Structure 1
Amino acid sequence: MKGDDAEVDSAKIALAGELSLGLLDGDERRDALRALDTDPEMRSLLHSWNEHFVWLYERDSSADVPPPARVLAGIEARLFAEPAVPSPWARALAALRAPENRDVVILVAMAKLALLAWLLYLFL
């Protein structure tokens, strides 16, 4: 029974945290708010979560430093830049690796192996 109590407690802690962050909707939110009215432990957990999040916000908001301009420029370049034109070798390699060309590549490889075997037979 001890494990069940710990599981219920962790579920209650998680529910209070989700309520504090505003992550609950619909029936879940209504049930959590009803639990606040009837369960003093739930009210205590919600209060501790709220204090925790306020502390995190105050700690992090004291250092509001905007990122360097190169960060925004880098993000925009990655999102909105024209795609790079691949080199002819890259296009050829991509064409060879394409699934629709797999049988041709296998056939050419087998022909090369057969030619190599024939040359070895002739000269050895």
Structure 2
Amino acid sequence: MTMTHHGVQTEKPTPHRLEWTTGLISTLLVAGLFGWVGYEALTAASVPPDLTVHALSTEHLPSGWRVTFEVKNHAPSTAASVEIRGEILESGQPVEESEVTFDYVPGHSKSTGSLSFIRDPNGKSLRLRAVGMAEP
């Protein structure tokens, strides 16, 4: 610790207790962080992304219909370029289709998005699913 006495700065021969405490706490935090990252790297299972998609709401717009949905990744690994497809079905046959691509969906997380349709999906079957993804 630097001290000023009569306009002259001098260095105290031993560090102040606060400096030792700060250094000790910082060392423990960094060591703990390295330990946690190392543990995760060694024990994390290589599990592919597990995506589920379900509709949250349907809204009428002047240009058509918007279906808001949520995609959940139940696995610890991240999925990139996630393509979600929505289909309106009548008598089991698709009559309209819409797609959106997410840049990524992190592991153990959820993201929301929306699909646009010209036809009203209310009263019809709506199928939402993840049709493709890449490993980041």
> When the two structures are superposed, what TM-score results if normalisation uses the length of structure 2?
0.28
In terms of fraction of residues, the more helix-rich structure is 1
Greater RCO (CA < 8 Å, at least 6 residues apart) = 2
Q: Larger Rg: 1 or 2?
A: 1
> When the two structures are superposed, what TM-score results if normalisation uses the length of structure 1?
0.31
